[in-house]
Amino acid sequence: MPYILCNSLNELQCCQVTALHTICSEAAPVTSPAGNASSKNPIVLSLVLPEPNAEDEDTFFLLFYMEEVLVSFLSVFCPDRKTAEVSGFTHPLHRKKGYFSLLLQAARTETKIRFGNVSFLYQCLSCDPDTTSFCMRRNLKLSHSECMMAAEIPAAGAAAAPSVQLSLSGRDNREQLISLHMQAFDADRFFTESYIDTILEDPDTTSYILLPAPSFQKSQEEPLGLLHLTLDKNGRAAYLMGFGILPCFRRKGYGTKTLSALFQILPPGCLLLLQVSTSNLPAFYLYKSCGFLIQSRLDYYRESGTFISPGKKEPS
């Protein structure tokens, strides 16, 4: 069979997948949130690749080759054993030939073996004709959207002392980070442990516990929440993730104060990126009020229970 199922991708496979993704992206320019056509944002199922040879029990990949050339790719990520996030794409010249359908059928079989009966959640960056046909053919329904937002760190100037302190945390704070994440996101321990361990193992990512800034009054320094920050090596971009305020401290301005403190530790001109769900309106409006602008949108589609017959072809 001309496809490969693997738990990790080697360097050659990563290069092949990245090259295929680039071809798919350039083949279909999209309309940006501002309404301007752009070919920089791919109109295909999204690409999220791990480091070469990085194996994760929650993830597997399927690659379809034609004469040693990669023409279709699919990845499955199931962190909570309930929902499998599916992303992938097919070369424009090899679509509507059933290749992606073959990978999807194989992925469904493998997912059931590894994780049991879980639902599939498909990631789509935009709805071009092929993606629209794919969603309609499989009777997929829009679940929610994730917006990629960005804000440029302003030049350093006179600023008041931050009222939230970002306390650097690491492996020694693992249990506290797990506890704070579970409280802030109402998450179960199994998923949270895996998430926090992945964060702590990433050398480019730093974790912070949020505390009230020291003042003249005695402070119990009760944690307010947590966040994680990945800074690229040249300091031009940073990615904010896992930013959560504990429920008892919400609607008290700590979100805005935390972002203000974060702005003060990042280099001027750095682009701060984050992803927020459209279903989380308080967070969305918080970021918008702090100067973040939408860069792109990732749509998530759920299966509604009616599937295409395995013997038929579908757009891919």
Task: Answer for the pair 202, 169: CB distance below 8 angstroms, yes or no.
Answer: no
Helix or strand run (H / E) with residue 29: none
Q: 87 is written with which tokens?
A: 């992303």
Could you tell me what percent of the chain has a pLDDT over 90? 55
**Domain 154-269 in this protein, CATH class:** alpha beta
302 CB-side CA count, 13 A: 10
Residues whose CB is less than 8 angstroms from the CB of residue 195 and which lie 6 or more positions away in sequence, other chains included:
79, 181, 187, 242
User: What's the confidence (pLDDT) of residue 33?
Assistant: 44
Domains 3-145 and 154-269 are alike in CATH topology: yes
Q: How confident is the model at residue 314 (pLDDT cuts 50, 70, 90)?
A: very low
Mean pLDDT of 110-122: 93
Beta strands in the chain (DSSP E): 3-6, 30-31, 37-38, 59-66, 69-77, 83-90, 119-124, 140-152, 164-169, 205-212, 225-231, 237-245, 271-277, 293-303
**8-54 confidence digits (pLDDT tens):** 999 999 999 989 988 887 775 554 444 433 334 333 445 556 678 87
pLDDT mean across residues, the chain: 84
**250-283 confidence digits (pLDDT tens):** 999 999 999 999 999 999 999 999 999 988 999 9
- Would you list the domain boundaries of the chain? 3-145, 154-269
d(CA 20, CA 89): 8
d(CA 61, CA 88): 9
User: What's the confidence (pLDDT) of residue 312?
Assistant: 40
The architecture that CATH gives domain 3-145 is 3-Layer(aba) Sandwich (3.40)
**157-214 confidence digits (pLDDT tens):** 656 677 899 999 999 999 999 999 999 999 999 889 989 999 999 999 999 999 998 7
